[in-house]
Structure formats: structure tokens, C-alpha cells
């Protein structure tokens, strides 16, 4: 398993093999259980990697979101939460007074997109400007922007 690069199955293998011996599992059942654990472990790892790469400010999700407290109409919230608009490559601009939950809602949308297997890039406006200025000095702006645009969802927050 080390040579096959299966760290998740390898971590579970001693315990699983002991259980399999005690319960007299068929060899195919052992292999199936190891592959299932490896697949689940890789999915968890990829999700964590996409979350970290997104650069979310706080980690807020829709679990803590109160749709009734938002000034965004409930049907609009539901339509945005389907994430279909991302697949259609549509833009979304959310604006409003300070303290109305714009950042919270957008971060929760971003978290949901990450869970759906999409790459997300989160920037504060000042940080994006600094990134572009930093790459302008060595003429690598195109490379930096190309890396950003690989994401399915790019969020630029003004806070």
C-alpha cells in the first residue's frame, strides 16, 4: 500500500485485517473495505485541500445561516444555493449596507461550492490589488490572473 500510495487504507489495514480474521471475511470483502476507505479518505483530503486553497476568511457555512434574517429574498437565496448559476458562468454581485450578511452569505455559497467539488478563490479587495501590484513588477500578472481564473467561483469581498 505504500508503493501504491494508499495512505488512508494503509492506516486502517491493521485493524481491518484483525477484524476480518476474527469474523472470517472473504478476501474480496477485505479489498473492498480497503478501497472504500481509501476512496473516502481521498475525498476528505481533496475537500480539505480545496477549502484551504479557497482562502475563506472564517469558515462560515449555511449551517449557521438564518434565511429569515437576511434582506435577500428567500426565493433568491434558494436559487443561488443551487449553484446552477456557476455552471452557466453567470456573475453575481451582492451589495448592500454594512452588517447585512453579504460576506457571510457569499462565504457559505463558497463553502457549498467547495463541497460540490468546485475550486473557489476568495480575495479581499485590498489583497487582490496587492497581488496584482506584486506581479506587475516582474511582469507575471497574466500568470497570476490565469491561476485565479481556474476557479469556478471567484469572490472579491470589499470588507
Q: Kindly tell me if the per-residue pLDDT of 139 is higher than 80.
A: no
How much of the chain, in percent, has pLDDT values that exceed 70? 100
35 compared with 96, residue with greater pLDDT: 35
How large is the average pLDDT for residues 131-144?
82
What is the per-residue pLDDT for 32?
A: 96
For range 137-141, the mean pLDDT: 79
Burial class (CB in 10 A: 0-12, 13-18, 19+), 128: middle
**What is the sign, positive or negative, of the torsion defined by CA atoms of 156, 128, 61, 114?**
positive
Decide: 132 and 149 in contact? Cβ < 8 Å: no
C-alpha cell at 118: 468546485
Q: Is the pLDDT of residue 82 over 80?
A: yes
Cβ-count burial of 109 within 10 angstroms (0-12 exposed, 13-18 middle, 19+ buried)? buried
**Residue 3 burial (C-beta neighbours within 10 Å; 0-12, 13-18, 19+):** exposed
Amino acid at each position: 500500500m505504500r508503493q501504491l500510495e494508499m495512505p488512508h487504507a494503509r492506516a486502517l489495514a491493521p485493524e481491518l485485517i484483525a477484524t476480518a480474521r476474527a469474523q472470517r471475511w472473504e478476501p474480496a470483502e477485505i479489498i473492498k473495505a480497503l478501497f472504500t476507505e481509501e476512496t473516502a479518505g481521498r475525498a476528505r483530503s481533496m475537500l480539505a485541500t480545496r477549502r484551504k486553497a479557497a482562502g475563506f476568511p472564517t469558515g462560515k457555512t449555511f449551517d449557521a445561516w438564518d434565511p429569515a434574517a437576511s434582506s435577500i429574498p428567500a426565493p433568491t437565496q434558494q436559487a443561488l444555493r443551487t449553484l446552477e448559476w456557476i455552471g452557466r458562468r453567470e456573475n453575481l454581485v451582492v451589495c448592500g449596507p454594512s452588517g447585512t450578511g453579504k460576506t457571510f452569505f457569499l462565504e457559505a455559497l463558497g463553502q457549498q461550492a467547495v463541497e460540490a467539488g468546485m475550486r473557489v478563490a476568495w480575495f479581499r479587495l485590498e489583497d487582490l490589488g496587492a497581488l496584482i501590484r506584486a506581479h506587475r513588477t516582474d511582469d507575471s500578472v497574466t500568470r497570476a490572473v490565469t491561476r485565479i481564473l481556474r476557479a469556478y467561483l471567484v469572490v472579491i469581498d470589499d470588507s
